[in-house]
Amino acid sequence: MDDRRKKLLYRANYRGFKEADLLIGGFARAYLGEMSEIDLDEFEALLKLNDRDIYAWATGKTEPPADIIGPVFQKLRAFDLQNN
């Protein structure tokens, strides 16, 4: 795994509250290796946002802003932690 992916994986695993760590970190472990540079850019931008917002958007508790909804976010929203 290259340095950029390692840093993103670390940031995904240490979000600030356990549920976000599990969801976002689990997603990163499952998909970071296959992400393109464009996907990595989207994921990195997502990780700059508030972890509680990301969690609420990904779990469908609230609707995300339109500019958040990209291919990586759609995969995160569909991600099933139980089966990955």
CA angle 81, 9, 2 (to 5 degrees): 130
CATH of 3-83, picked from 1.10.10.10, 3.40.50.720, 1.10.150.250, 1.10.3720.10, is 1.10.150.250
CA 73, CA 81: separation in Å to the nearest integer?
Answer: 15
Which among 5, 2, 27, 32 is positioned nearest to 15, based on CA atoms?
A: 27
Q: Which residue has the higher pLDDT, 69 or 83?
A: 69
For 9-68, what is each residue's pLDDT tens digit? 999 999 889 999 999 999 999 999 999 999 999 999 999 999 999 999 999 999 999 999
Tell me the domain boundaries of the chain.
3-83
CA separation (Å) from 74 to 16, 18, 22, 31, 33? 22, 21, 17, 12, 17
